[in-house]
Amino acid sequence: MPSTSRILLDNLLLSTTDARISATSEGFLYGHGIFETLKIIDGRPAFLAQHHARLIASARALDLPYAVDSGTLRDRLHQVIAANALINGSAKVVLFNHGGTTGELITTKPGPYPEETYTRGFRLQTTFTGERTGTLSAHKTLNYLANIRAKRAALAAGFDEALFVTPAGIVIEGATTNIFVVRNGLAYTPPLASGPLPGIARAQALALLGPTRARETLLTTIDLQHADEIFVTNALLGIMPVSRLDDRVLDLAHTPVTRELRSAYRTHELNSLT
């Protein structure tokens, strides 16, 4: 689905055809930038405080000066949302090196995931990759090509998402999601030290489940094969049950942890709207 027609570039409301970014900026030439994608529900962003905090932390880590507070960012988001008459969908905030200054771009896109997708569940295709360690793995940078290519390859093969696994069989994350496996009523997700992005929805899921029902631990492909339930998370999906992992089919009629968490997450998400 195409993006809506009005964007905010450096706090100027423009049509997409009128917006211009320097072709010589490091943001364009080298991917020196970061982004956050926020879910929009009833015209308001969800988990804005958490997204703003991660945006500030990533900007600082990548030497992108940015002093916009959460209230100002909220006002800018509302301006673009109103300009596009967006009710439900998403907004993307991009910060990029713009010739020695930090450029800010805010775009929106209509259309949430339909309920039928949750009923069917996501289908995951494992994709082998190198270890995800280092400074950049903890941030949503504009250097996103590996994720995009893996996601497109999975879609072309009839799946919904690629799942990155190292040659040693260590599970890291999805191309656009974090992963959880459930066994004997406990949910497990890879620790941040193993390379996954510190997802906003991942953090909310861990908090809602609590330390007695969720743990961060190294996961392998063997854990995937023995899981009672699998679900993935991101800011737009929330909690998405997994119905297939490569050739393995999972029965979504028996996913009590995923179902309970999805209901609790939805309530928590609605309470976060600003």
The CATH number of whichever domain residue 236 belongs to comes to 3.20.10.10
Rounded to the nearest 5 degrees, what angle is found at the Cα of 59, between the Cα atoms of 200 and 148?
60
Q: Are residues 58 and 188 in the same domain?
A: no
Report whether pLDDT(236) > 70: yes
The burial class, CB within 10 Å (0-12 / 13-18 / 19+), for 197 is buried
Q: Are residues 28 and 143 in the same domain?
A: no
Give the separation between CA 260 and CA 274, rounded to whole angstroms.
Answer: 25
Count structural domains, the chain.
2
Task: Give residue-wise pLDDT tens across range 38-68.
Answer: 999 999 999 999 999 999 999 999 999 999 9
Q: Are residues 106 and 133 in the same domain?
A: no
Rounded to the nearest 5 degrees, what angle is found at the Cα of 182, between the Cα atoms of 132 and 260?
115
> Any residues with CB less than 8 A from the CB of 274 and at least 6 apart, and which?
44, 45, 48, 49, 74
Of the pLDDT bands very low, low, confident and very high (cuts 50, 70, 90), residue 235 is very high
Q: Are residues 131 and 169 in the same domain?
A: yes
Q: Are residues 173 and 83 in the same domain?
A: no
Domain end, chosen from 110, 139, 161, is at 110
With beta carbons less than 8 A apart as the criterion, state whether 92 and 37 touch.
yes
Report pLDDT for 109. Answer: 96
* Domain annotation covers residue 90: yes
Residue-range definition of the domain harbouring residue 130: 115-271
Nearest to 231 by CA among 208, 99, 268: 208
Of the pLDDT bands very low, low, confident and very high (cuts 50, 70, 90), residue 195 is very high
Q: Which residues pair with 188 in a beta bridge?
A: 181, 215
Report whether pLDDT(18) > 80: yes
Q: Are residues 89 and 47 in the same domain?
A: yes
Report pLDDT for 138. Answer: 87
Report whether pLDDT(1) > 70: no
Q: What is the mean pLDDT of residues 141-155?
A: 95
Whose structure tokens read 């982004």? Answer: 35
Report whether pLDDT(110) > 60: yes
Q: Are residues 52 and 71 in the same domain?
A: yes
Q: What is the mean pLDDT of residues 217-239?
A: 97
Q: Are residues 86 and 33 in the same domain?
A: yes
In the three-class reduction of DSSP (H, G, I as helix; E, B as strand; rest coil), residue 102 is classed as strand
Domain end, chosen from 82, 110, 138, is at 110
Beta strands (DSSP E) in 27-77 are 33-41, 44-45
* Domain annotation covers residue 209: yes
* Domain annotation covers residue 69: yes
Nearest to 216 by CA among 239, 243, 237, 196: 196
Q: Are residues 106 and 174 in the same domain?
A: no
* Domain annotation covers residue 224: yes
Give the separation between CA 110 and CA 93, rounded to whole angstroms.
Answer: 15
Q: Are residues 40 and 15 in the same domain?
A: yes
Q: Are residues 48 and 136 in the same domain?
A: no
> What percent of the chain is modeled with pLDDT above 70?
97
CATH code of the domain containing 34: 3.30.470.10
Give the separation between CA 212 and CA 206, rounded to whole angstroms.
Answer: 10
Report pLDDT for 77. Answer: 98
Q: Are residues 146 and 44 in the same domain?
A: no
Report pLDDT for 6. Answer: 96
Of the pLDDT bands very low, low, confident and very high (cuts 50, 70, 90), residue 106 is very high
Nearest to 187 by CA among 262, 77, 84, 79: 262
* Domain annotation covers residue 247: yes
Q: What is the mean pLDDT of residues 171-178?
A: 97
Report pLDDT for 255. Answer: 98
Report pLDDT for 2. Answer: 46
Give the separation between CA 273 and CA 77, rounded to whole angstroms.
Answer: 12
Is pTM beyond 0.85? Reply is yes
The one-letter amino acid code at 198 reads P
